[in-house]
A and B are shown apart, each in its own frame.
Chain A
Amino acid sequence: MNALSASAVAAPSSTQPLEIDSLVKRFGNVTAVDNISLNLSSGECLGLLGPNGAGKSTLIRSIVGRVIPDAGSVTVFGFAAGSAAARETLGWVPQEIALYPRLTAKENLHSFGRYYGLTGSKLNEAVAWCLDWAALQDRAGELVSNLSGGMKRRLNMAAGLIHHPRLVLMDEPTVGVDPQSRNRIFEMIEALRETGMTIIYTTHYMEEAERLCDRIAIVDHGRIVALDTKEALVRNAFGSSSQVLARFEGPDGKVAAWVTEHGGRMAESFADSKADSTAQFTVQHPTEIAALLDGASAAGLELMDLSLRRPNLESVFLHLTGRELRD
């Protein structure tokens, strides 16, 4: 039996998993969530992509009901966020390893299952499913403090799903995890998606959002600056254009002046370099590159390096915010 297909939660008053309307949350002078509105469809995986401090975790905590907003509303399957009914339908995987270190993996799952009101055979089934999903069956009797970082992360995720929620919020679940464990976590999430689970996934890694999410919301300074599929985001920001990165050598100041004159811009990290400089150009067609290079040569600039980059989410973020995703 697929444990996820049987839900013990109350019948929802709405089929829409999540509706956020004009949400605002301030901490002192800092506006952590600035007028965010967002809807989620059933079975969808929505990515919240943004750097540290963008407001992703505060948004997640507002949905869970751990943060009381200053304005706006959040409903989960029609229930007000923070209400008992909403909490029953919601699963939360916090960014911290929120487990009891002196209990075993199995005991942790039992404890959190009990907190959600599971008992008896239902609880045992749920624990068994979680251990199987997280591939921790052979470590079930191990104290959490003795598990590796990757295992703790997997257990942390499993504890958020013990009660068979309809909507899962995962707040950067791969932080501090090695690539192999990270891949394992991706497989776990993909398995969840196949069951029709609705997921919100926050991350500051572009490749995670690209791999796992149907739609991606780019979050910066508490606002959603763009929300769409990956392809649509790139197309809206760059059309069919590509980025050319070219590194030139030439007299002081001349490179920057020539680049600006020809519609490009200097990459920030190289802006102050006097020996050589890397410029970024946007071209609609690769054939434009030849004309660009001819022009540079005619101006006395020596080409040192050249690459063609198709735009990605990081490019979109840079284009929309003027900052790198990992700033």
Chain B
Amino acid sequence: MVSLRRDRGSLVLSFIVPIAFFSMFAIIFGSQHDTVGRVKIIVVDQDQSRASQQLVKGLENEGSLVVLLKPAATKSQPQPADYTAATGEAAVKAGDISVALIVPQGFGEHPVAFGGGAAGPAIQLLYDSSDRIAPQMVGGLLQEVAMTSMPAPMAEEGMKYSEQYIGSYTPEQQKKMKEGLQQLQELQSRPDAAKAAPASSGGGSGGGGIIAVKNRSVVGENKNNPTLSFEAAAVGVMFLLFTASGSAGALLEEAESGALDRVLGSRIGMTGLLTGKLVFNILLAFTQLTLMFIWAWLVFKVDLPSHIPGFVVMGLCTSFAVAAFGMLLASMCRTRAQLGALSTLLILVMSAIGGSMFPRYLMPEAMQKAGLWTINAWAIDGFTKVFWRDLPVTALWQQVSVLLAIGIVLFALARRIARRWEYA
């Protein structure tokens, strides 16, 4: 401990760097309330009909989209012209925008096609195939906005279909329908009419759609930082592994200097020595994790005080597992340089597949299963249960069991391998 305190570089690496990394991730991912951000799209209205203008208006009022009709003004072009199909496509190709919608001429005459196969020209959705999320999201929102922002064209088209399949309306029915459509169009033309369409994401009712839908979040309803506790655990575990490996490397320095020989010639045997180092490394790792979560609480409002029992249980079990991991690596290596190379390789791989760099639920299933062989995966799962799902300590039995088992097995292996230092 004294040695660590005097090694300023190690102190910074052990405590400052993990907090800095976590803060970076927290700023990048933690300030968004929704899991998906607003998508910028270009909309080119070649039709300029009432229906197309209603559609564009509906897209502009959609909370998840930022609609651009013309490029931003610059000094050379203070009043730029609206986007065209060509310039919209060019912007997607240049990577300036993910999606461009081209509403073609003639769209307004037959805007709606029930049962697939539009009677009129189709809207073009231009996209960059490297972005797998934006095109799908915009496509889905487009359908929803069409439903909610063009009720009059929807009704008109519906009537045409029913005339086609059921039969002609009587003159009185036609008159009533025309009056109704007119009212609908007048209603739609009011300045505040488009804003009545609900946002597609978040809570609230879906009263403007075909079927009524009420969204309710059952996890994290009152939390405004869905990824912060995940980031704290993910980044924390990764840096705990690095610190534990580095700290365990003190054993190699002792072996090199002869101090280990001297110590083993004293009252203390190898088991006692390794156990002492293990306990120190557990406390170091737990301290590191605690400081990170305190920082997360103070600066990023992660609710630590309400989750102390779960945090302590998961923190100690994770610290035990990473400390044992560090001891095993140190016992396997001959020099500090070897330890550095091996630990970097293993820890980066474990962190990648274990979910420290990228959430496991977004990985293919085979990778998710592979991640279960890492300390990271079990630690992150446990912390997520504590901080995001608000589950009690008893719900952590699986994560605790696995982490303790990992620690015991790795320490036993380290002890076995360390016999090379005991006797010649």
Interface residues of A (CB under 8 A from B): 27, 61, 64-68, 84, 87-88, 90, 92, 94-103, 107, 112, 115-117, 143, 159-160, 163
Contacts and interface: CB of A to CB of B under 8 A. Distances in A.
Given A66-B261, A99-B259, A116-B267, 8 more contacts: A66-B424, A67-B424, A84-B267, A92-B265, A94-B261, A98-B261, A102-B7, A163-B266
Highest count of chain A CB atoms <10 Å: which of B3, B258, B265, B423: B265
Please report whether the interface of chain B is mostly helix, strand, loop or mixed according to DSSP.
helix
The 10 lowest CB-CB distance pairs between A and B, nearest first, are A96-B258, A98-B258, A115-B266, A98-B262, A102-B3, A98-B259, A67-B424, A64-B265, A68-B423, A115-B268
B265 A103 contact: no
Contact of A66 (B254, B264, B267, B268): B264
Interface in B90-138: none
B3 A96 contact: no
Contacts of B257: 96-101
Contacts of A95: 258
Contact of A61 (B7, B254, B424): B424
Highest count of chain A CB atoms <10 Å: which of B3, B262, B267: B262
A112 B265 contact: no
A202 to B, nearest CB: 15
Contacts of A65: 265
Highest count of chain A CB atoms <10 Å: which of B254, B263, B264, B266: B266
Given A68-B423, A99-B257, A102-B7, A117 B267 contact: yes
A67 B264 CA distance: 11
Nearest to A169: B265
A64 B263 CA distance: 11
B343 to A, nearest CB: 21
B3 A94 contact: no
Nearest to B264: A66
30 contacts: A61-B424, A66-B264, A66-B265, A68-B423, A68-B424, A87-B266, A87-B267, A88-B267, A90-B265, A92-B262, A92-B265, A94-B258, A96-B257, A97-B257, A97-B258, A98-B257, A98-B258, A98-B259, A99-B257, A100-B3, A100-B257, A100-B259, A102-B6, A107-B2, A112-B262, A112-B266, A115-B268, A116-B267, A143-B6, A159-B262
A66 B423 CA distance: 5
Nearest to A99: B259
B267 A102 contact: no
Interface in B211-270: 254, 257-259, 261-268
A67 B423 contact: yes
Nearest to B259: A98
Nearest to A88: B267
Contacts of B6: 102, 143
Nearest to B254: A100
B424 A103 contact: no
Nearest to A163: B266
Contacts of A112: 262-263, 266
A103 B3 contact: yes
Contacts of B2: 102-103, 107
B423 A94 contact: no
A65 B424 CA distance: 9
Contacts of A67: 423-424
Contacts of A100: 3, 254, 257, 259
A27 B424 CA distance: 9
A211 to B, nearest CB: 26
B154 to A, nearest CB: 77
A27 B268 CA distance: 26
Contacts of B262: 92, 94, 98, 112, 159-160
A9 to B, nearest CB: 11
Nearest to B257: A98
A303 B318 CA distance: 84
Contacts of B261: 66, 94, 96, 98
Nearest to A84: B267
A159 B262 CA distance: 9
A94 B261 CA distance: 9
Interface in B1-22: 2-3, 6-7
Contacts of A107: 2
A66 B264 CA distance: 8
A113 to B, nearest CB: 10
A249 B161 CA distance: 133
A100 B260 CA distance: 10
